[in-house]
Structure 1
């Protein structure tokens, strides 16, 4: 038998053996990699080491083995894309570990996961009671995802009927004391605005290690000297307080006037400001 054909057959045999051996170990060995990515990673590493260190004249045969592995990986990825049953067989099916606040012990044993390890994974998701979990599932990657019960979920602006502006990525506008012009332009500002904001916070550009602008145009800075305390920008809170005062004044005017037409106008204006306050509260008070 030619050497190259022997290498191909031996490599194909190694693919099958490694697959079933790793399958036997279980998905916890895979971590964040997909199942076959894990196999391919460790094997290609070994093959590359063989090619690098083998001093015999037939070292090039390692390249053939490496090529076979790459071809097998591409073929398996293609099969996975086309066939659901193949995906489930190669990369495991997801396993339900908790349902309606109850741990499914049989599934836990199947995945060789102890109670301590399960609780550790829940704590990583900021969940400390099993009863707070509506559904917990171990994915094919070995990661555990959870869905908390509705009463355990934190309130969101949507739950309170509050509309908030869409979030943008915060931009670093000063790094190591140097102004970053491109991020500053992305946020719609210029160096003049930056210097004015720094002046409001009593800071010099040369003292700033890092500065960021958030979705709402708020500038936050970190100084080289950590002992220096920068004053908080109170403009938004002051604006919110002024709007509240305007609403209170309009309500007072509606109560004190004897004109029916004026009373309706004051009440309508007060309700409009109340709606505005509900919309901008999270923006102006944080």
Structure 2
């Protein structure tokens, strides 16, 4: 019993170390090959606890991690390999219109897409200029120009055009940077 516990601790430590070498990603961000190798590693490490042997399990895990790192290195160097191994984003909304054929290829229902839109804070398909399902399964989108939220920069530009300069750009932080004061400071406070 003690041997099984010791082997499990060693495998957990080695598995953690080897997976750290593979890189940091959450499961939701992993590509299909990464998930497949992660599951295989889990099976290999689990088989050791059942008694297959500590060293063979560590070697097999290191081999899988090496394969994963090699595949990612090849994907970085050759775009064709990246597409073959990791896939590519698939267009599902174009100019506010659903791409039904692509949803079918993804086996994604309109209800599933609506859920992703709601989670992204989008109320209408028509507000999305381009919507994709990325390689990691996440929903990527670009707003229609008229649906884009107003940014502070947009608001300042619009108000500046309509009302002129609203406020003085100097504040207590610019005083620190410039080591000067906008207003005279009473002698007693200096």
TM range (shorter): 0.5 to 0.7
In structure 2, relative to structure 1, the CA distance for the partners of 1:107 and 1:279 (3 Å cut) is farther
For the aligned residue pairs, the C-alpha RMSD in angstroms reads: 2.4
- Unmatched 5+ stretches in structure 2: 1-26, 159-163, 171-190
TM-superposed CA distance for 1:122, in Å, is: 0.5
Whether the 8 Å contact between 1:134 and 1:149 is mirrored in structure 2 is yes
Calculate the TM-score normalised by the size of structure 2.
0.66
Alpha-carbon spacing, 1:83–1:133, altered in 2? closer, same or farther (3 Å): same
Structure 1: any 5+ residue segments left out of the alignment? 1-29, 164-273, 281-286
- Whether 1:115 and 2:110 are equivalent positions in the alignment is yes
What residue is the counterpart of 2:4 in the other structure?
Answer: none
- Note the C-alpha offset of 1:154: 1.8
| Counterpart selection for 1:96 from 91, 97, 114 | 91
Give the C-alpha shift of residue 160 in structure 1.
3.2
- Write out the 4+ residue segments of structure 1 that deviate beyond 4 Å after TM superposition: none
Paired residues in the alignment total 140
User: What's the TM-score once normalised by structure 1's chain length?
Assistant: 0.45
Q: 1:85 aligns with which of 54, 57, 80?
A: 80
Is contact 1:51–1:63 with CA below 8 Å preserved after alignment?
no
Following the alignment from structure 2 to structure 1, what is the Cα–Cα distance between the partners of residues 146 and 54?
63
Structure number with greater CO (CA < 8 Å, separation at least 6) is: 2
After superposition, the Cα gap between the structure-2 partners of 1:127 and 1:279, relative to the gap in structure 1 and judged at 3 Å, is farther
Aligned to 1:277: 167
Q: Are the counterparts in 2 of residues 162 and 278 from structure 1 also a CA contact under 8 Å?
A: no
Deviation at 1:31, TM superposition (A): 3.4
2:71 is the alignment partner of 1:69? no
| 3-state SS of paired residue (2:29) | coil
Aligned mate of 1:131, from 105, 126, 137: 126
SS of 1:134's partner is strand
Structure (1 or 2) with the larger CA radius of gyration? 1
As a proportion of its length, which structure holds more helix? 2
